[in-house]
Each structure stands twice: as structure tokens, then as C-alpha cells.
Amino acid sequence: MYSELVKFIRKTFGVEKDFIPLHEPRFFGNERKYVLDAIDSTFVSSVGAYVNKFEAMMCEITGAKYAIALVNGTNALHLGLILAGVEKEDEVLTQALTFIATANAISYCGATPHFVDVDKETMGLSPSLLKKHLEEIAIMKNGVCYNKNTNKKIAACVPMHTFGLPLYIDELIKVCNKYNIPVIEDAAESLGSYYKEKHTGTFGLIGTYSFNGNKTVTAGGGGALVTNDENIAKRAKHLSTQAKMPHKWEYRHDEIAYNYRMPNLNAALICAQLEQLEMYVENKRELSDLYFEFFENDDKIELVREIKDAKSNYWLNAILLENEKERDAFLTFTNEKGIMTRPIWTLMNKLEMFKDAPKADLSNCESLENRVVNITSSVRI
């Protein structure tokens, strides 16, 4: 089967012998034109027409009222947590099965990640398991949720739409609302994904996105924060520009802040990429359908697919193997054959810096960690 899959991937991508990356960027449109235009304008840093255009495009694509252009997805998460009120010594609920940026951003605030399990079918934070966990450890004091085991405030919840697959985000927000816990969606991987016809990243108080070089669309680097709250949007822009007070020539700042604004050069690139987002997503959804047909009769490998009412961008296709031994054999065979595949991330609670963080039962996370592999998912030329 592994040999047949290698042949299938090479045929599907039209590459007979060369190395095939896991996910590489495609530049089919106005990328060169817009970047050269930004250079000619001399506005190459964080002020320029393409930054404004990018923010407007993000609002149009996601349906959010406000979008703030930022340096990367990690900075967007950090800023989102600050804007949601997360402070030093707080706890922030998140999934153990995530990219480290999620847990790092929480740590930048001086807060502690509090790990909860995922649903196997979405690989995203589980509403039912979160509800069960909060019923066991939460206590309300004057409308604020605390962890009765640590006496620390639970200040926010950060679910992630893993590999672009929407989780049960509406149910998750219902659980969090009961405990007055604001939700910051980590939608870094899910631009172009929808749940119940609403774009991921727009269900919670704040949503964040990444435009790293391996994402569905890229700015080389780059990130964005979206919200429907005008005050949050204004404060996000203020904090991301070193809290500089408006003035024609004076440099006055009213608080400690950050240099988190996206440069105009990156914005020019992402504007051209966003023009092709719909085509890219349809191309990637077609690829997932092809994989589904290939694996349909295989009783040892399962392709992870979107849940009911979801439309995934299928940023990275994921398969489930029987066990860790089969996973490692698959990874070894495919990579030796010049087809890049990779395992899912090491669980956050197993990393040295987070080993003592509070956590719920993580049975689903542990099962997925040992079995999930990402396979070739680039937009096909």
C-alpha cells in the first residue's frame, strides 16, 4: 500500500522523480506586480496602501467587521490574549494537541496553559470534554471563573482549528459563555474554512490567522487579528504600533506596547495571494477527494475528513494509522522515497517547559499523537 501511495502522489502532482514537499507556496497571480509596486512606492515598512488593502480583504473574506495586519500568527495570538484581558498568573484553556505557538503565546503573557482534550474527529478542542472538565475543577467568584485546584483565574480559552478542520466551535463557545470565559480562536491554519456557513475565526471574541510560507496563502511571514468589537480593534492597532499617539511629527507613547505591524511588502504579497484563495481552497478540496477515493477501501489507513456542517480548506491532509509502529514505518518509507510526510506535533504537556501545567485527561490527544501523519497537500499545478 505504501508503494502504491507513493505512485499515486507522484502521478497526482505530476512529479516523477524529484522530491515532493509537504506543502509549498504557489505564485500564480499578481504577486510580483504588487511587490514591485510596493517597492516603487518606497512604502516598504508598516505603512502603505497594501496594508490597508489587506485588512479590507480580510474583512471581506471572513465577514469580520475589523482586521488588523500583524507580523505573524504568534504575535496575533499574543495580542489577542492581552486584548481579552489575560494577565500574569492566569490560566488559559487550550488543547494539548497543537502547534507550540499556541502555548508560547499564552506564556508570553505570564499566564499558564491549561490543557484539555480534543475530539478525535476534528482534532480540535472538545466542547463536551471541556464541559466535563470545568464541572470538575471550576468555581465561580463574582462572575469570574477560577480553577479550584490552583486558585488561579481561568482568563480565556484558545481552541485551534487543526489542519484547517473546523471544530465544534459554536458548542465550545456555549460552554465558555456559561463560565464567562472569552474565546480567542487560533485559526492560523483555517483561512477559507467554514462551520455552519460562518468563517472560522469569527465565532469568538477574537480570531487570529497565520500567513507563514507553508500556509494555504502566504505573505512570507505575516498574521492577522479579526474581531467584531470596535474598541478591541482600535486597541489592537494601537498596541501593535508601539502605542504611538497620533500626531503629525511628535513621538509620544502612552503605554508599553509592541512592534507587531505587518510591513507593506508582505501585505503586497498576501493581497495577491488572497485574490486566489477561493481557487486554492477548491484545488485542495479536490485533492482531499482524490485521497479519499484512494484510501476508501483501506482498512488500515483512515483519511481525516471534515465534520457535518463544516467546509475545510484541507490545509494539510491527515491520515490515521493503526499504531505508532505503523506510523513510524510509513514516515520512514515515504520520506526515503522523496515524498515528505510528517507526524503530528508532540503534545504540549510532554514538553519540558509545560510538563507541570494543569491538564485534564488527554486520552484522545495521546491516541492521535501516536497515529496521525500529514501527507502531501500543496495546491496542484
Is the per-residue pLDDT at 256 higher than 90? yes
Mean pLDDT of 164-181: 98
User: DSSP letter at 20?
Assistant: B
* C-alpha–C-alpha distance, residues 152 and 45, integer Å: 40
- Phi/psi of residue 34, each to 5°? -70, -40
Cross-strand pairs, 219? 221
Other residues' Cβ atoms within 10 Å of the Cβ of residue 95? 31
- Is residue 127 within 8 Å of residue 172, measured between CB atoms? yes
Mean pLDDT of 27-53: 96
**H or E element at residue 83:** helix 73-83
CATH architecture of 31-276: 3-Layer(aba) Sandwich (3.40)
Nearest partner of 54 among 226, 312, 231, judged by Cα: 226
Name the percent of the chain lying above pLDDT 90.
97
Cross-strand pairs, 114? 93
Give the Cα-Cα-Cα angle 283, 377, 301 (nearest 5 degrees). 115
Query: What is the predicted pLDDT for the residue at 175?
Result: 98
- Is residue 280 within 8 Å of residue 192, measured between CB atoms? yes
* C-alpha–C-alpha distance, residues 314 and 280, integer Å: 10
* C-alpha–C-alpha distance, residues 200 and 312, integer Å: 10
Query: What is the predicted pLDDT for the residue at 42?
Result: 96
Mean pLDDT of 82-95: 98
Q: Which CATH fold topology does 2-26+277-348+359-375 show?
A: Aspartate Aminotransferase, domain 1 (3.90.1150)
**H or E element at residue 226:** strand 223-227
Contacts of 179 (CB under 8 A, 6+ apart): 134, 138, 140, 145, 154
* C-alpha–C-alpha distance, residues 123 and 305, integer Å: 11
Mean pLDDT of 168-195: 98
Cell of 83: 486584548
Length of the chain: 381
Other residues' Cβ atoms within 10 Å of the Cβ of residue 290? 14
Report pLDDT digits (tens) over 134-171: 999 999 999 999 999 999 999 999 999 999 999 999 99
Q: Where are the domains of the chain?
A: 2-26+277-348+359-375, 31-276
Mean pLDDT of 270-291: 98
In terms of Cβ atoms closer than 10 Å to its own Cβ (0-12, 13-18, 19+), residue 274 is buried
> Can you tell me which residue has the cell 506596547?
257
Mean pLDDT of 57-61: 98
Strands ordered across the beta sheet of 223-227: 66-70, 223-227, 206-210, 184-186
Name the percent of the chain lying above pLDDT 70.
100
Report pLDDT digits (tens) over 299-314: 899 999 999 999 999 9
Give the Cα-Cα-Cα angle 314, 336, 331 (nearest 5 degrees). 50
- Is residue 148 within 8 Å of residue 138, measured between CB atoms? yes
Strands ordered across the beta sheet of 152-158: 112-116, 91-95, 152-158, 144-147, 138-141
Query: What is the predicted pLDDT for the residue at 108?
Result: 98
Report pLDDT digits (tens) over 90-111: 999 999 999 999 999 999 999 9
Mean pLDDT of 190-211: 98
Cell of 349: 504537556
Report pLDDT digits (tens) over 320-339: 999 999 999 999 999 999 99
3-state secondary structure 90-128: CEEEEECCCCHHHHHHHHHCCCEEEEECECCCCCCECHH
* C-alpha–C-alpha distance, residues 307 and 309, integer Å: 6
Please report the DSSP string for 280-333 in residue order. Answer: HHHHHHHHHHHHHHHHTT-SS-EE--PPTTEE---SSEEEE-SSHHHHHHHHHH
Is the per-residue pLDDT at 285 higher than 90? yes
* C-alpha–C-alpha distance, residues 361 and 301, integer Å: 26
* C-alpha–C-alpha distance, residues 306 and 309, integer Å: 8
Query: What is the predicted pLDDT for the residue at 1?
Result: 75
Average pLDDT, the chain: 97
